[in-house]
A = this chain, B = another copy of it.
Amino acid sequence: MSKFKKALLGSIAPLLLGSMLGMATQAVASDERFYGRFTADNELYTPRDYRTWVFIGASVTPNDMNDGAAAFPEFHNVYLDPGSYAHWKKTGEFRSGSVIVKELVSVGTKEAPSGNGYFPGEYGGIAAMVKNDKRYPDRPGNWAYFGFDGESRHGAIQEDSACSACHQQNAADDQVFTQFYPVLRAAKP
């Protein structure tokens, strides 16, 4: 190898190594990166990408099983942001920064080739809960609950007496209904 090539390799090697280390760091960081964007008033901008987050469970509370007036018709498909799922798998806790989105989907049909039951129809809106000790230091458990009204660009924080009260009283783990989320139970260390 020529003296020049050796000198050149000596100069390039640290750069390439640095670049490779940078890539590794980036990969780890993106695994636990934070999700959700917020207004100056700490209201959550309407999440658009949650369907590629981690699905944690689906329940159905159909109108026809609730005297025609279910509180949350019909399917609720629930997602946790990927960074907070990675954190849950390591620690079994919801980190500050956790974003959980509940998507409501109508019942499309009750009969299908696979049998009688409830089958998803069309998208009907979302709700969300966000845990953040900096943004919501005075909310119970630092969880804020958001309703989203039609085409609004961001959610509105709900009174503690609305969502939070029921979640505090009935949810199995830090206001999250893990009793209905086998995915989270299976991932808990």
Interface residues of A (CB under 8 A from B): 8, 11-12, 15-16, 19, 23, 51-52, 54-55, 57-62, 65-66, 70-72, 75-77, 79, 82, 85, 105, 108, 112-123, 166, 169-170, 177, 179-183, 186-187
Contacts and interface: CB of A to CB of B under 8 A. Distances in A.
Contacts of A79: 55
Contact of A116 (B66, B177, B183): B66
Contact of A108 (B117, B119, B179): B179
Nearest to A51: B183
A138 B166 CA distance: 54
Q: How many identical chains are in the complex? A: 2
A52 B85 contact: yes
A120 B180 contact: yes
The interface centre, meaning the residue of A115, A181, A187 with most chain B CB atoms within 10 A of its CB, is: A115
B182 A61 contact: no
Given A8-B8, A54-B52, A85-B52, A59 B118 contact: yes
A55 B105 CA distance: 14
B182 A121 contact: yes
A54 B118 CA distance: 21
A64 B122 CA distance: 25
In order of increasing CB-CB distance, the 9 nearest A-B pairs are: A55-B55, A61-B117, A58-B58, A61-B115, A65-B116, A113-B170, A59-B119, A66-B115, A119-B180
A118 B116 CA distance: 13
A174 to B, nearest CB: 16
B61 A114 contact: yes
Contacts of A112: 59, 61, 170, 177, 180
